Chain A
Amino acid sequence: MARMTMIEAVRSAMDVSMERDDDVVVFGEDVGYFGGVFRCTQGLQAKYGKTRCFDAPISESGIVGAAIGMAAYGLKPCVEIQFADYMYPAYDQLTQEAARIRYRSNGDFTCPIVVRMPTGGGIFGGQTHSQSPEALFTHVCGLKTIVPSNPYDAKGLLIAAIEDPDPVIFLEPKRLYSGPFDGHHENPVVAWSKHPLGEVPEGHYTIPIGKAEIRRQGAAVTVIAYGTMVHVALAAAEETGIDAEVIDLRSLVPLDLETIVQSVSKTGRCVVVHEATLTSGFGGEIAALVQENCFYHLEAPIIRVTGWDTPYPHAQEWSYFPGPERVGRALQQVMEG
């Protein structure tokens, strides 16, 4: 075991995968020599050479399109989009191509690619360095969508994603890169070295895609979260003293419905939290599934705590980001319901 930040864990996952499988290639903007703007690929080019880890032109559709062609040949590309906010030029390649190649060719061709994208806010990133576009992927059949919340999961899930036979969107909450963040921006930054999930095995291991993890056992209410909001939800539970059960989904598609249903059937209450905007966000899907599957167990309406239906602002960062106070208020409200 070693202490790793999320950046080091993500890098270690690629390192382990490249070491084990010659078909794994890594590329994207600034990913090669420089090692990535977040240092996630640092040292990989020096270790594996320029044909395994290299810089790409600033063309998201080109990066994803080329990766799809490489996958059709038989490679396993793990590519990076510098910010999830810049995935839109590649959206055609991701949704109409990567997601559907296996289906439309009846398995004649497949697309085992991973597209890594730093996601989420809380870093004064403004409109185009803070978005959480996961719902634009979860709505696309044929894609798998993953959002880790800690270094241990990030490494295990990324290795699983690289080994997965289908295209995986891997969203890395950049606010969690260096340390856990519970939304208390006024407090000093905490490092992963002080957190149990900053302990990461150095070698190969995987975390199964499609399995949620209960981060806090509780009996009063189920909080469903992923990414940065897992830490916010945990803080809100502690601060309100409400005995919340916090589920970290980890994988949005495929979704661990069983864990959700078991928990809500036990608690009878449900709060869904995400950074992304409310309307047609992934929280709507979760709320619908909980309503369909747990209707007779529900003792209060399901509440969603999310980003507002606005572009992500700069100066008003902490009025936008759904922090522990807003989540805490929702917990109190759902307990009164």
Chain B
Amino acid sequence: MNEPGHLSLHVPEPAVRPGGEPDFSNVKIPKAGSVPRPEIDAAPETIRDLAYSIIRVLNRDGEAVGPWAGSLSDDELLDGLRHMMTLRAFDARMLMAQRQGKTSFFMQHLGEEAVSCAFRKALSKGDMNFPTYRQAGLLIADGYPLVTMMNQIFSNEADPLHGRQLPVMHSSKAHGFFTISGNLATQFVQAVGWAMASAIKNDTKIAAAWIGDGSTAESDFHSALVFASTYKAPVVLNIVNNQWAISTFQGIARGGSGTFAARGLGFGIPSLRVDGNDYLAVHAVARWAIERARRNLGPTLIEYVTYRVGAHSTSDDPSAYRPKTESEAWPLGDPVLRLKKHLILRGAWSEERHVQAEAEIMDSVIQAQKEAESHGTLHAGAKPSARDIFEGVYQDMPPHIRRQRQQAGY
């Protein structure tokens, strides 16, 4: 131990910076199937270990193993694969559209497709997600039209949000997808309020809150956990740990807590950690937490361990702060390839069908894009009306806004 003396400030650093060899030796990956599956009504204090391990179903060989395996049929898994591939193709096209100047901005999900796609399939109709800007899989897995998503991204005449919102800030009450805000973490506590409302009305619906690793440092993360814990709200509190908050590695937000899941323990909230690139594991854990909420047993916190393969956004260049090849070294691999391998092993899929599906999915995304572009893109074609700037600030337009609309010439 040091003698008392001059103090020094500790500032965490990622293991590797650009130019270095990617190194994930500090990420402890337990064997697939090794983490137990507690009863739905397990007391939080009896399952503390689950906040420090990683629940995994698919092993290296693509087999589904252990107590969290076996909840999904071939058809359900094939659906899941299609959703993830659709999200990936969608991202690729929209990324390109941004580079072509058809929109101002885009954010992709590369490497994180399993998290939102699998979670959505564990929810029921009427449940409400409070997503961040990186959970479009919730919409795709629920059958939300790709054309409508693209219309929003292009801010065109058919944009459901009438050009008022930045691209990717979708909103769909009908699909259980709360309006996305640019302000991080605000929706985390709103989700808890929605869940409290469902409980107040003795309803059967539950809420799902979403947040990234970096945003857990926001005060609303703390508010959400306090309220969820106090009122035993029927909410699933999801933390997507993709290791990066723009350029900031997860250690800056996590500090000495060991894992993000461990944050839940101090609030008495059962907390699980799951392989975010394992579609089967994500679905199984989501189902466990959702059933818990549905049975009025209270909130669950889930940390999805994944990796942000792409840039933070179209305005970001990750090579400035992390090794270019870091994603290739990520020990949990690629969610699409892992599910593909599993389905082939099950005899439900093949390399040929995968190649064919890839082409078909890309074709349908391109078709959707053509249709969306026929309604205009940010700088070309039809646009939302400028008159619409003034609509919807309030339900009824107050006199001062009406005067301004007239002044603007509408």
The 6 closest A-B pairs by CB, nearest first: A69-B193, A66-B193, A62-B223, A65-B189, A73-B197, A105-B179
Verify A61–B173 contact, CB threshold 8 A.
Answer: no
Q: Is the CB of A73 within 8 A of B173?
A: no
Instruction: Name which of A107-115, A178-186, A263-271 contacts chain B.
Output: A107-115
Known: A61-B189, A65-B223, A108-B173. A73 touches B398 (CB 8 A): no
> How far is B380's CA from A308's CA once the two chains are assembled, in angstroms?
52
CA distance A281 to B178 in the complex (A): 35
Tell me whether A109 and B173 are in contact in the complex, defined as CB-CB below 8 angstroms, given that A65-B189, A166-B395 are known contacts.
yes
Is B7 interfacial (CB-CB < 8 Å)? no
**Which residues of B sit under 8 angstroms from A254, Cβ to Cβ?**
398-400
Inter-subunit contact B189/A62 (CB<8 Å): yes
Cβ-defined contact, A257 with B197, below 8 A:
no
Of A65, A71, A75, the residue contacting B224 (CB under 8 A) is A65
Q: Would you call A69 and B190 a contact (CB within 8 A)?
A: yes
B189, A107: Cβ atoms closer than 8 Å: no
Q: Which of chain A's residues have a CB closer than 8 A to the CB of B374?
A: none
> Would you call B164 and A103 a contact (CB within 8 A)?
yes
The answer to whether B130 touches A69, judged by C-beta atoms less than 8 angstroms apart, is yes
Give the residues from 104 to 126 in chain A that come closer than 8 angstroms, CB to CB, to chain B: 104-110
A51, CB-defined interface residue at 8 Å: yes
Whether, in the assembled complex, B2 has its beta carbon less than 8 Å from a beta carbon of chain A, the answer is no
**CB of A262 within 8 A of chain B?**
no
Distance between Cα atoms of A57 and B224 in the complex (Å): 11
Which listed residue, B160, B165, B169, B190, touches A72 by the CB 8 Å rule?
Answer: B190
With A and B bound together, what is the CA distance between A87 and B199 in angstroms? Answer: 27
B128, A73: Cβ atoms closer than 8 Å: yes
Asked if A142 is an interface residue, CB under 8 A from chain B, the answer is yes
Report the minimum CB–CB distance from A319 to chain B (whole Å): 36
User: Does A166 contact B394, Cβ atoms closer than 8 Å?
Assistant: yes
A110-B395, A142-B393 are contacts. A62–B200 as well, Cβ < 8 Å? no
**A104 contact from B171, B193, B196, B401, Cβ within 8 A:** B171
User: Of A57, A72, A75, A92, which one neighbours B200 at CB under 8 angstroms?
Assistant: A75
**Chain B's nearest CB lies how many Å from the CB of A166?**
5
Name which residue of chain B comes closest to A166, CB basis: B394
11 additional contacts (CB under 8 A) given A96-B181, A102-B395: A66-B190, A69-B195, A70-B200, A92-B220, A102-B393, A104-B161, A105-B161, A105-B173, A165-B394, A253-B398, A254-B399
Q: Let me know if B160 and A62 touch, CB within 8 A.
A: no
Contact (Cβ within 8 A) B193 A109: no
Nearest CB on B from A112, distance (A): 9
A-B CB contact pairs (8 Å), 19 listed: A25-B200, A57-B230, A61-B223, A65-B224, A65-B227, A66-B193, A66-B223, A75-B200, A92-B220, A93-B220, A103-B164, A103-B393, A104-B164, A105-B161, A105-B179, A106-B164, A108-B179, A210-B399, A257-B400
Name the interface residues of B174-202: CB closer than 8 Å to any CB of A: 178-179, 181-183, 186, 189-201
Residues of A within 8 A of B162 (CB): 106
Grouping DSSP codes into helix (H, G, I), strand (E, B) and loop, the A interface class, with mixed when no group exceeds half, is mixed
Kindly state whether residue A68 has any CB partner on chain B within 8 Å.
yes
Residue A141 lies at the interface, judged by CB distance under 8 Å to chain B: yes
Binary interface encoding of chain B residues 93-108 relative to chain A, with 1 for a CB under 8 A from any of its CBs, else 0: 0000000000000000
**Which residue of chain B has the shortest Cβ distance to A25 in the bound complex?**
B200
Interface check A59, CB cutoff 8 A: yes
Q: Is A74 close to B, CB under 8 A?
A: yes
- List of A residues within 8 angstroms of B182 by Cβ: 96
A141–B207 Cα distance when bound, in Å, is: 29
List chain A residues, Cβ under 8 A from B198: 73
Contacts A59-B223, A59-B226 given: A66-B189 contact, CB under 8 Å? yes
Asked if residues A102 and B394 are in contact (CB atoms below 8 Å), the reply is yes
With a cutoff of 8 Å between Cβ atoms, the chain B residues found around residue A241 in the complex are none
**Are the C-beta atoms of B179 and A73 separated by less than 8 Å?**
no
Cβ of B247 < 8 Å from any Cβ of A? no
Nearest-neighbour CB distance to chain A for B14, whole angstroms, equals 29
Q: How far is the CB of B284 from chain A (nearest CB, A)?
A: 27
